[in-house]
A and B are shown apart, each in its own frame.
Chain A
C-alpha cells in the first residue's frame, strides 16, 4: 500500500525490485529497504525474538533495533530496515522452528517463569554431569541465523581519509556545521548512516504546515552538494571513536580509517519506546518510524492509529498520519498538562481525540501475537501506576514516543560524561576531549532553529582549534522538553519489555538488583541487558531508571553501561580488510618454481626446501645430499644477510661487535664471525670478508640480519666510530656452488679469477667476474665440500643462476634446497643459530670457544661470556647418533635424565652419508661425554637411547672442503 508523491523521497516508482521472503514473492521499488518493501505489502512479521520467539517487526525503521534481523541468502543477521533488496534475493526470517508464521518455539513464551533473568547461570551445572545433557539442546537453540559453510571470502578493504573536519551525522546540525567549517576553508567530510542527506529533515515534521523541513533540507543539501570543500559519505557508519579523532567508518565492504583534526558529532538522538505489556507487538513503532515509512518510502503504515506520547512530536506525527489517510483514533499523552497549545489545537481541529495523563497499559494482540489489534488505555495514577479503569481502543498501529536518548556511544567512547537531569528527564553530555565537538539533539538541542545554530557553533569551535580567525558563538540554549520522566508501566502478567534484543522484561531488571547486582554494569552482565545487536539504544534509559528506583538512587548515580566500540555490529572482514602479507623473493625464485622446488617460508622469504614432490621429501633430500657429496650442487643463498662496513674504523668496529679478532684479518680472507649480545648469548653468526683495510662485507643469518644491522647502528651511535654501515641484503643475490666438481664448473665461467687450490684456498675471498657478472667469491664450506659462495648484484641473480646451471650441465649439476643444506651442515656438525641455540646459549655450551679472541679488550657481551663460561656448566650441545631404523627424534623432543628433563633435540635427520640418524641436542653436563648415552622421548612416548659422538659426523679432518 503506497502513498502518493511527494511521499516516497527515496523510492523510484519506475524501477521495481522483486525478491522472495519466506518463499513468497514480493515487489518493491528501487530505493526501498527490505523492511519498507515488506511493509508496503502488509508483511510486518520479519523475525522472532531471541528468547521467547515472539513475533517481531520494525520498531525504528532506521536500523537501530534488532527486530528486523533477517537472513539474506547466506548472510545471517542482516538489518531489513537498513539493507536494500536486490532483484531475485532470497530472504528468510530468523530464529524459528517450523515457519516464521507458525513458530513451534513460540511456546517458550508460556514458560517465561521458568526462565528468569540469568537462569542459565544458575541452572545446568547441578547435579554433576547434567551440563553435558543440556549442552546440545541449548546450543541448538542458541544463535541467530544460519551460517553458509560454503561461503567464499569476498573482497573487503580499507582506505585512509584525512580531513580537517569530520562531521558524523547529516541532519540539520551536521549540515550546518559542515557548511560553516567548509565556508571558512576547512576540508570537511560528512558521514551518515542513511542513504540521503538531511537526517530528521527528510522525514520529521517541524511545523504545523509541514513545510519548513523540506525547505530547510533543500537549502542545506543544495549548498553542501555544491561546496568544493565538502565530501559526503552516505550509507556509512562511524563505528568508533579512538584517540586523536581516529574514526573507523564502514561503508559497504570498505572501512575508511579517518584521521580528523576536528570531529563534530551530530549523531542525533534515539527516540525511546514506552514500557507496557506487549509493547513489542508488530504494529507498535516509534513515531519517527512511521514518519520515515511515509516520507521516505511512501508506505501507509496502518488504517487506524493510536499515538502514545510524552512530548509534542507525536502530535506532528498525528498530523502526518491524518494527511495520508490514516484514521487517528486517539493521542494518549502521558503528560497531565498535555502538549503545546498550537499543536493541541491543530489536532483537535481535525477531530482527533486527546487523552491526557494516561498511558497504554497493555497492547492487545491478534491471534499468535502477530499484530496489534487494540490498546488498553488507563489513567496514570502515580509513577508507573495506573487506574483500574480501562478504555479499549481498536487500532492496527500504535506510535510511541517517550522522549529521546542522545546517541552517546561515540562520545562516551571518547571519555564523555553522561549526566541525567531530573528536571528534563534527559541525559546530557560533557567533559569531551579537545577537538571533539557535539551539535544538535545529541547535545540536548531540539528546536530546529537552535539545532542549526548549534551546528554553526560547533563548527566555529572546531575552526578556532584549526587556527581560523572566527568569532565565537555563545552556547545555544533550548528549552524544548522531549522526555517523559517515567514511561514504564509494569504489568503483573509481564511481557513489558525493556530490552527487545534479549527479551528482558521489567521484572528481570528489578530481580537482577534484588539478587544483588545493584551496579548497572553488573545488571548488564547478569541479565545481558544492552548486549544485543542494538547495544542498548532503547533499553539503556529505562533500565537506568528501573535500577535507580530499585536501588534507591538517582539515575545520574546509576548511569548507563559503558559504551565500547563498535557502535554497530561489524564483520570480521571489515576489521581484516585486504590483508597485506609481504613476501620476499630471491632473484632466482622463478627458476626454482620452474625446476619443481617445494618452497618454504624463511621469515618473509620464500626458499626452496628441496626439489620434487612434497610426498617424496626424504628421498629428494637424500638424493640431493648425495649429489653434493659426490658431484656438484647449487643452492640459492640470496636470503643470507649482508652488511657492508666501510670507513677507517671498520676493523675496529668489527672487533668490537664480534667475538673473534678482526683487526689483523688479512685482506682477501674470510673469518667466521660470532655475535653475542650483552648477556653473552650467541645471537647470530656469519662470515666476515675483508675486502680492503677499511672495507668489510659480513654475512648474517636470514632471520637475524635485521636485528644485527639495528644492533650495529645502536652500538655505533654510542661508539661514534668512523664507519658507514649498510644493510645490503637485498642488493646481493648469492649461490653456493658445492661439491667435488664445483671448481670445474666455476672454471668454465670465471675466467679472471685463479681458482686453483693455491690461488684461491679455503676461507679466501676474491673478486672477479662470473659469466661476465661482477662477483664477490667466498671459499667457504658450510656443507663440508669444496664450495664457493658467489655474490652478485641482485639484478644479475637470475642470470648467474642460469649461467651456473648451464656451465654445470656436463658435470650433472643439480639444485639443492634448504632442507638438504640443513642435513649437509648437520653432518659437518655446523650449528644454525636459533635452531641449535636458544636464548640462553653461550659460546661455551656450543663449543665455540675457538671463535673467541680472549686477548682483545672488548667485544659486545664479552664480559658476560667470561662470567657465564666461568660458572659451573649445566648443559652442552652435543652430537648424537641413533641406528638407522630407530624412531627418529624431532626437533624439540625432550632429552631425559631419569625422570628429569635434561635437554632437548635441536636438529635430527637420517644421514645417507653416515647411514644412521644423526643429530644435535642439548644434554646435561653429565651426559655430554663422548660415548655416553641419553634417553630421548619421541612421538607417542617411544623412548630411544642416543649415543654421544664426537663432531663432525663426516669428514672429520675437513679435507673435502679444502680440496
Chain B
C-alpha cells in the first residue's frame, strides 16, 4: 500500500513518507520500503525507521513486576535496563515500579501478549499513544546522538541492554540500546506530539553519516 491514511491508526511520521510501501501493523502503517532511491538493506548505512504504530504497552505500580511475571515477561534487575522476552519483545524497566513491553521489531505482526492488570497497585500505561517509537540503525549511533544529546551513548558507557532517559534535541526521550541481527540499534521513544520534530532533527543529525529514512526491510 502507498497511502498511510488508509489505516485507522496513523503515525505522525508516516505522513511524511507517502509514496512508500507500507505494511498494516496493528491497524496502522509501518513503512516497509523507503522511497525509490533509498537503500533499505544497507544496515551499514545510518537509517531511521518509524515503528510508532507497532504495539507496546506498560504497567506501573507496586505490583507491576508481579503482573509482568504473571504475563511471562522477564523483569530487568534494576531501572534503566532492558531485557528480551520469549518472543523477542523488548522489556524495559524505566523505574522501580514501571515496565514497558515493545513488540519484537522484527516480527511486528506478532503482537505481544497484553493482559489487563488484575492486581491492585498495577496500572496499565498509555505509551502506545503518548510516545512515538523511532529506531536508529547503522554504524554511527553514538556519534549521531552526540549531536543532539548531552549523554555519552558510546557503547563503552551505554552498552547493549541499557536504557537511558534523557533529553534529545531538547525533548524528553527514552533511548534503548539493543541489537537487531547482532548489530546495535537505538530505539528512541519520545513524546508522540513531537514525533515529526524529532524525526527531522534526527535525520538532520544523521546527514553527515549518510543517514536516511528506512523501512522495516532494513531490519527484517
Contact = CB atoms under 8 A, between A and B. Distances in A.
Contacts of A262: none
A40 B4 CA distance: 63
B123 A157 contact: no
Contact of A582 (B9, B128, B150, B170): B170
Interface string B163-205: 0000001110000000000000000000111101100010010
B130 interface: yes
Interface string A577-614: 01011111111001000000000000011000000000
B60 interface: yes
A728 B130 contact: yes
B125 interface: yes
A578 B202 CA distance: 12
A730 B190 CA distance: 10
A797 B193 CA distance: 11
A159 interface: yes
Given A159-B147, A259-B152, A578-B204, A730 B128 contact: no
B146 A793 contact: no
A7 B7 CA distance: 70
Contacts of A585: 12, 193-194, 196-197
B146 A730 contact: no
B11 A646 contact: no
A760 interface: no
A604 to B, nearest CB: 8
Interface string B66-98: 000000000000000000000000000000000
B128 to A, nearest CB: 7
B155 to A, nearest CB: 12
A772 B9 CA distance: 11
Contacts of A799: 7-10
A850 to B, nearest CB: 33
Given A730-B192, A796-B8, A580 B129 contact: no
B152 A160 contact: yes
A55 to B, nearest CB: 43
Given A582-B194, A795-B9, A162 B126 contact: no
A582 B169 contact: yes
A162 B157 contact: yes
B97 to A, nearest CB: 10
A585 B171 CA distance: 14
Interface string A384-416: 000000000000000000000000000000000
A771 B120 CA distance: 33
A726 B126 CA distance: 9
A644 interface: yes
Contacts of A939: none
B10 A798 contact: yes
Contact of B8 (A257, A582, A772): A772
A343 interface: no
Contacts of B146: 159-162
A451 B128 CA distance: 60
Given A728-B130, A731-B126, A795-B129, A582 B197 contact: yes
A734 to B, nearest CB: 12
Contacts of B34: none
A590 B128 contact: no
B5 A798 contact: yes
A578 B169 CA distance: 10
B148 interface: yes
Given A160-B152, A580-B170, A582-B194, A587 B126 contact: no
B149 interface: yes
A730 B193 contact: yes
A581 to B, nearest CB: 8
Question: Lowest 3 A-B CB distances belong to which pairs?
Answer: A731-B126, A731-B130, A162-B152
29 contacts: A157-B147, A160-B147, A161-B146, A162-B154, A259-B152, A580-B148, A580-B169, A582-B169, A582-B171, A584-B197, A604-B194, A726-B60, A729-B130, A730-B129, A730-B192, A730-B193, A731-B126, A731-B128, A773-B8, A793-B9, A793-B128, A793-B129, A794-B130, A794-B193, A795-B11, A795-B53, A795-B129, A796-B9, A802-B5
Interface of B: 5, 7-12, 15, 28, 52-53, 60-61, 120-121, 123, 125-126, 128-131, 143, 146-150, 152, 154, 157, 169-171, 191-194, 196-197, 201, 204
Interface of A: 157-162, 257, 259, 578, 580-587, 590, 604-605, 638, 644, 646-648, 722, 724, 726, 728-732, 772-773, 793-799, 802
